[in-house]
A and B are shown apart, each in its own frame.
Chain A
Amino acid sequence: MLVPIRWIKDYTDVNVGVHEFVDRMVLSGSNLETVEYFGQGISGVVIGRIKKIERHPNADKLLVCQIDVGKGAPVQIVTGAANIFKGALVPVCLDGSHIPGPLHGQPKTEDGVTIHNGQLRGVDSFGMLCSCSELGFDDKVVPVVSKDGIWILPDEFEPGQDLVEAMGLDDAVVDFEITPNRPDCLSMIGMAREASATFGTPLRYPETQCKKVAPEKSEDYIKVTIARPDLCKRYCCRVIKDIKVEQSPWWLQRCLMYSGQRPINNIVDITNFVMLEYGQPMHAFDIRTVRGAHIIVDTAADGEKFATLDGTERTLTGSMLMIKDAEGSTAIAGIMGGLASEIEADTSMVLVESANFLGDSVRRTSKALTLRTEASGRFEKGIDPNLAKDACDRFCYLVEALGAGTVLTGDVDVYPNVEKPVVLNIRASRMNKLMGIEIPTEQMTSYLNALEIKTEVNGDIITVTPPTVRQDLLIEEDYVEEISRLYGYDKLPVRIPAHTTEARLTPMQELRNRTKDILTALGLDEIQTYSFVSPKASDKVRIPEDSYRRQFIKLINPLGEDTSVMRTMILPNALEVLSTNWSRNIPAAAVFELGNTFFNNGKGADGLPEEKDALCLAAYGDREDFYLMKGRVEELLTLIGVKGFEFVTESADPSFHPGRCADILKDGEKIGVLGQVHPEIAESYGIDRPVYAAELEFKRISQLVDTEKKYEPLPKYPAMVRDFALVVTEATKAGDLEKTIRNTAGGLLESVKLFDVYRGVPVPPGCKSLAFSLTYRSKDRTLTDAEVNDINTKVLAALRDSFNAVLREI
């Protein structure tokens, strides 16, 4: 909501500087977007009257003008603008004058532009005529008559007057952010009401009574029927004759321009002015176009075609509310008038409509037609129907005051159910209880009265009657806000509540924290990627067509395919991240993400999808290999308390290298997979070197965690160590050998460790040598060489029998 400071002073006498105005308005509840200062950076520009226009002798598109700038002899200025005419008042930049610019067709500069005398194609030009936008105004507020050329000023000024001074161009415009609960503030009177309460200055309502009306009555010219009182709360209108369409006076144009509206002509400008002033959209019809002198507010015929005044033909549905006459539709209620009812140059009698349409109905229609207008936006937000008559009268008053027409007696006002204020009993004690202070009831009522809320005190009870424009005051708490914001949030006390609750993290939250600690300690960087992905990412990592990982939760309105489904795994995102890093020549990267995945299986509560924490590790770089990634997973699982997990060969996971992939099992249940990402997949992400990754079902793992720990006495007796190396075929798995060793050696085996893998002479081709170190120990005695040798011999025999493992000398 743009609030020009000069304009708001018409309604209340705020006599403070712009800064203080803004600061105090913000503290009382109006949110500031920006403050814009107009008229700054303009100096030496005067008003001139064009006395003579001649063709430029050397250029077809230039004109040579003689301009009266109030200094006796006219000044000669060359211009290229086509919209000027003899007798027009125009802004003249004399030699040395300064304007904000930018000059037509040039880029904007910070410091503006200084104008000097010069020659154009051999003809002297002692300055420049300028356009509205060259003086710093937005193109969209430039008056229609001056749209494509020099600013043709209203004929109210004298040649030689300083432009800024004479027209009052210097003004600050404050842009307030109006929250959706306060549509009443989308009007100058609404903002003035806030300012009045904030600064304690009385609120003045504008004049609405015409001085002299024609004896004919509006009701003689028009009849109104509301066929759908459920969609139209009120329809008020008046008739004006002897319309004279011309430019509005400057004061009115200025109000519109500084509020972001383009001046068009007096009739349209007044409708816009009253809309800005009251917040009530107005519409003016050429009464000749109202067939049968009858306005009927009713819904459209299904499939009806209707041309709106923007020149578009639209197809309507039976739920859209229309303004009709005896023969058909003339406007879409609250949105836009029809092409046929537009005010024409020869319009002599108009019907001005000030109606109230149901916001929801306007919203639905506006949405269905994808047609949004200033009026529709205002109806959607909600307008007080009690404003309609005042706004209608104000329109007529201004028509009369501007000499734009003669207003007829009376109005036609159909208002079946008068909107009444929501009267409430609020408790002063409750106000204080919620604010945490003790302020007297009289102080509360004075704040409320300042907002035009009527009060009646009866002990603790305050009976409040808000003005009907305040549609947001419905419950007691709404009044806490009114009182506390005028008291000042900054003056409310500060208190820290006593700790009545004990802070704790859930086991899952603790586990996530611990996991991130461990993984960062293992040198991985944490990444955060989007929860929504492209379904194509699953193709890229070769997820089978029938996999549960393709049962996506789909967005019906995604930004694009890349973010159209919720992720079911993190690997593709992690590969994307590695790809980004690799493409930036980062030689090594090791990352993880612990986050949500989503499954379209209805297993969540309230019919929601199942959300499961997943964990993905991924890395490339010189240091990386399968066993480093496996080591990280082992260390993580061990440290978070997963016991007895194992890795088994997986050669059929399409995301991974068939010879370098393992499933991670716990009691036979798969809790994750790890391996070298299939080289073709890595290549498809643009990474032409091995990438290792693991994807873990973190939620399931969290249920398997057993952090129970018990003290184990330190060994009292010495250990005996036996090392041996075995030659086996390449296909033989170290893990299988280890299982056999453990099974055979029994309780005295403390640990077994594979400490070397060797290939090459003298080991025959197709074979490898695995060197194990076995540690034997008893808890209650010193072992003898003989008994350990005995066990070790059995172990070797078992290995020989099961795997053809041949003992190798070391």
Chain B
Amino acid sequence: MKEKLKELAQQAREKILGAASVAEAESFRVEYLGKKGKVTDILKSMKDLAPEERKSLGQAANETKAQIEKLITDKMAELKALARQAQLAAETIDVTEPGTVVPLGTRHLITQTIDEITRIFTSMGFSVSEGPEVETVFYNFDALNAGPNHPARDMTDTFYIDDKVLLRTQTSPVQVRTLLAQKPPISVIAPGRCFRCDTPDATHSPMFHQVEGLVVDEGITMADLKGVLDSFAKQMFGSSTRTNFRPHHFPFTEPSAEMDVSCFKCGGKGCRVCKGSGWIEILGCGMVHPNVLKVGGLDTEKYTGFAFGMGVERIAMLKYELDDIRLLYENDIRFIEQFK
């Protein structure tokens, strides 16, 4: 019997080690260790043997059984590992092929520029005001202290609907609307569309966007104007940006100024963008003219304020070095998607 066991063990070993698949290896478990398996048969036949003999043979049979068991387990682990390896090899892909995306759309460059300006000013406590694009002559000119013969009133400069209604030429009328609607302290910006009689060319558009700003409170000074706009410039164009305020004239501010920023392309050394001057004119500003504050019914002894206005297209064009303003209104999606 022991001889037979040995022979079985040897035979099983050869078969198991030669198994080519997990299923085949599994089949040997049935063949040798199953209910009707060959080792099981031997164990079953032992009941007729003498106790001594049974004991010794039983031990040998159990050992053989354990041996085979282990062989099968090991073989199966080996085969599984091989199979996994083969599977992984088969699943290898070219990771340099392009990724799959559902592409996001892009906000228009003008919107992005307004968004950025808005974000900076809201972080400084400004709210966002709005006014109509079709505006009255009163809000667009009269209330802003523009004299009855101000050249901007001409039909060659301003689009009219009738003698009292026009397309606003600036976002400044929102200053007046805000002063009439709110009490100080006021800090608002007003982005929006404006219109002037300019035939479209590389640098002109009959429709364009401005962002207006207005701050009115007790004790507002020119130092506040400089502080807020300098801070804006640093956030918008980079922390090393310097600002320069030059005296200028607007009917609705007194004193008035224009603000230049150090060129954000060359840092002020002089380049194509700043036309060699190192400075770029960015916005007009000034202390709110008392005549404008009076339209809002404010006590000009108590309240002072400053206002500013900037051209969105101009800033976008300078920042991204656009050479033609018409690109912004042509809406070629290849252009729009450049600013993703």
Which A residues are closer than 8 A to B by beta carbons? Answer: 26-29, 31, 179-182, 359-360, 363, 380, 433-437, 475, 477-478, 480-481, 484-485, 489-490, 492-497, 499-506, 509, 516, 519-532, 553-559, 563, 566, 577, 580-581, 584, 586, 589-592, 596, 598, 604, 606-609, 611
Residue of A nearest to B163 (CB): A556
Residues of B near A504 (CB, < 8 A) are 127
- Are B108 and A497 interface neighbours, CB within 8 A? no
Given A492-B226, A504-B127: A481 in contact with B331 (beta carbons within 8 A): no
Roughly how many angstroms separate A341 CA and B290 CA in the complex, as a whole number? 49
Contact A559 B221 (CB under 8 A): no
Residue from A27, A433, A475, A478 within 8 A of B221 (CB atoms): A433
Segment touching A, from B59-67, B69-77, B193-201: B193-201
Q: Is the CB of A559 within 8 A of B206?
A: yes
A179 touches B127 (CB 8 A): no
CB pairs A–B below 8 angstroms (24 shown): A434-B287, A435-B223, A475-B254, A477-B254, A489-B222, A489-B226, A489-B246, A492-B245, A500-B125, A501-B126, A501-B186, A505-B127, A509-B128, A520-B106, A522-B105, A525-B106, A526-B108, A526-B111, A526-B336, A527-B331, A553-B161, A555-B160, A584-B332, A609-B161
Across the interface, A525 reaches (CB within 8 A) one of B125, B155, B333, namely B333
B132 within 8 A of A: yes
Choose one: A433, A489, A502; the contact of B245 (CB below 8 Å). A489
Once the chains are docked, how many angstroms separate the CA of A359 from the CA of B121?
A: 42
CA distance A481 to B255 in the complex (A): 5
Taken together as a complex, chains A and B put the C-alpha atoms of A559 and B205 apart, in Å, by 11
Q: Does B207 contact A (CB under 8 A)?
A: yes
Q: State in angstroms the CA–CA spacing of A435 and B138 once bound together.
A: 30
Chain B residues with Cβ under 8 A from A526's Cβ? 105-108, 111, 336
Least CB distance from B262 to A in Å reads 13
> Is B122 interfacial (CB-CB < 8 Å)?
yes
User: Bound complex: CA of A592 vs CA of B186, how far in Å?
Assistant: 34
A586/B333 contact (C-beta < 8 A), A477-B289, A492-B222, A497-B228 known: yes
Task: Name the residue of chain B whose CB is nearest to the CB of A360.
Answer: B149
With contacts A525-B105, A525-B336, A555-B161 taken as known, whether A485 is within 8 angstroms of B255 at the C-beta atoms is yes
A577: contacting residue among B122, B223, B331, CB under 8 A: B331
Indicate whether A500 sits within 8 Å of B161 (C-beta atoms), given known contacts A475-B290, A525-B333, A531-B207.
no
Tell whether, in the assembled complex, residue B287 and residue A477 are in contact, meaning their CB atoms are under 8 Å apart. yes
Chain B residues whose CB sits within 8 angstroms of the CB of A27 once the complex forms: 246-247
Contact call B195/A501, Cβ cutoff below 8 A = no
B321 contacts A by Cβ under 8 Å: no
Given A496-B224, A528-B110, A557-B160, do A477 and B185 touch, yes or no (CB 8 Å)? no
B50 at interface, CB cutoff 8 A: no
B312-340 Cβ-contact flags toward A at 8 Å (1 or 0): 00000000000000001111111011000
Q: Measured between alpha carbons, how far is A495 from B225 in the docked complex, in Å?
A: 8
Distance A445 CA – B306 CA, assembled complex (angstroms): 25
> Is the Cβ of A481 less than 8 Å from the Cβ of B149?
no
Chain A residues in 8 Å Cβ range of B134:
553, 566, 598, 604, 608-609, 611
Residue B164 is within 8 A (CB to CB) of chain A in the complex: yes
Docked complex Cα distance between A727 and B62 (Å):
67
Distance in angstroms between the alpha carbons of A19 and B104 in the assembled complex: 51
Q: A481-B256, A500-B187, A528-B329 are in contact. Are A523 and B220 (CB under 8 A)?
A: no
CB-based contact B257/A489 at 8 Å: yes
Scan B189-214; emit 1 where CB is below 8 A from any A CB, else 0: 00001010101000000110000000
Among A26, A437, A606, which residue has its beta carbon within 8 angstroms of that of B136? A606
Please list the 7 inter-chain residue pairs (A to B) with the smallest Cβ-Cβ separation, ordered nearest first.
A436-B221, A436-B223, A179-B249, A481-B255, A29-B247, A520-B105, A499-B125
Known: A180-B249, A436-B221. A590 touches B105 (CB 8 A): yes
* Cα distance A639–B141 in the bound complex, in angstroms: 42
Known: A477-B255, A523-B105, A531-B193. A502 touches B125 (CB 8 A): yes
Query: Are B224 and A495 touching (Cβ within 8 A)?
Result: yes
Minimal Cβ-Cβ distance residue in A for B121:
A503
In the complex, which residues of chain B have a beta carbon less than 8 angstroms from the beta carbon of A527? Answer: 108, 331, 336
User: What is the bound-complex CA distance between A553 and B133, given in angstroms?
Assistant: 12
Across-interface contacts of B160 in A (CB, < 8 A): 555-557
Closest to A573 in B: B331
Of chain B, the residue at the smallest CB distance from A499 is B125
Interface residues of B (CB under 8 A from A): 102-108, 110-111, 121-128, 130, 132-136, 138-139, 149-151, 155, 159-162, 164-165, 167, 185-187, 193, 195, 197, 199, 206-207, 215, 217, 219-224, 226-228, 230-231, 244-249, 251, 254-258, 287, 289-290, 304, 328-334, 336-337
Given A504-B127, A557-B159, A566-B134, 19 further pairs, Cβ under 8 A: A29-B246, A31-B246, A359-B149, A434-B222, A436-B221, A477-B255, A489-B222, A490-B244, A497-B224, A500-B125, A503-B125, A520-B106, A523-B104, A524-B105, A528-B328, A528-B331, A557-B155, A604-B134, A611-B132
A103 to B228, CA, bound (A): 54
Residues of B within 8 A of A433 (CB): 219, 221, 304
Q: How far is the CA of A481 from the CA of B251 in the complex (A)?
A: 13
Q: Is the CB of A555 within 8 A of B228?
A: no
Determine how close the nearest CB of chain B comes to the CB of A623; give it in whole angstroms. Answer: 10
Bound: A506/B124 CA distance, A: 17
Question: Which residue in chain B gives the minimum CB-CB distance to A27?
Answer: B246
Beta-carbon contact of A496 and B231 below 8 Å? yes
Contacts of B165 in A (CB 8 A): 607-608
Q: With the chains together, A17 CA to B207 CA distance in Å?
A: 42
Q: B123 contacts which of A475, A484, A503, A528 (Cβ < 8 Å)?
A: A503
CB A612 to nearest CB in B, in angstroms, measures 11
Rounded to whole angstroms, the CA-CA distance of A580 and B256 in the bound complex is 43
Q: Contact partner of A434 among B111, B135, B304, CB < 8 A?
A: B304
With A477-B255, A501-B126: A525-B185 Cβ-Cβ less than 8 Å:
no
For A360, the chain B residues whose CB sits under 8 A away are 149
In the complex, the answer to whether B187 meets A490 with C-beta atoms within 8 Å is no
Neighbouring B residues of A505 by C-beta, 8 Å? 122, 127-128
Which residue of A is nearest B245, CB measured?
A489
How far is the CB of A466 from the nearest CB of chain B, in Å?
15
Return the contact of B132 from the options A478, A500, A608 (Cβ within 8 A): A608
Interchain CB contact under 8 A, B107 and A586: no
Q: Which residue of A lies closest to B328 (CB)?
A: A528
Tell me if B197 and A557 are in contact (CB < 8 A). yes
| Contacting residues, chain A, for B254 (C-beta < 8 A) | 475, 477-478, 480-481
User: What separation, in Å, do the CA atoms of A481 and B248 have in the docked complex?
Assistant: 9
B126 touches A503 (CB 8 A): yes
Smallest Cβ distance from A184 to chain B, in angstroms? 13
Contacts of A490 in B (CB 8 A): 244-245
User: How long is the Cα–Cα vector from A363 to B148 in the complex, in angstroms?
Assistant: 12
Q: Report A370 CB to chain B, min CB distance, Å.
A: 11
- A499 engages B230 (CB within 8 Å): no
Is A525 in contact with B337, judged by CB distance below 8 angstroms?
Answer: yes
Q: Are A435 and B227 in contact (CB under 8 A)?
A: no
CB-defined contacts of A31 to chain B, threshold 8 Å = 246, 248, 258
- A611 to B228: give the CA distance in the assembly, Å: 32
* Closest CB in chain B relative to A390 CB, distance in Å: 26
Is there contact, CB below 8 Å, between A495 and B227? Answer: yes
The residues of B that contact A531 with a CB separation of less than 8 Å are: 133, 167, 193, 195, 207
- Cα(A59)–Cα(B244), bound, Å: 62
With a CB–CB cut-off of 8 A, which chain B residues contact A557?
155, 159-160, 197
Chain A residue with minimal CB distance to B247? Answer: A29
- The reply to whether B287 and A506 contact each other, CB–CB distance below 8 Å, is no
A608 touches B135 (CB 8 A): yes
Residues in A neighbouring B193, C-beta threshold 8 A: 531, 596
A749→B177 CA distance, assembly (Å): 53
Instruction: Among A494, A516, A530, A611, point to the contact of B111 (Cβ < 8 A).
Output: A516
Complex Cα gap A563–B126 (Å): 34
Residues of A within 8 A of B219 (CB): 433
A501 to B125 CA separation, bound complex (whole angstroms): 6
B331 partner residues in chain A, CB cutoff 8 A: 527-529, 577, 580-581, 591
Q: Please give, as numbers and ranges, the residues of chain A lying within 8 Å of B230 by CB-CB distance.
A: 494
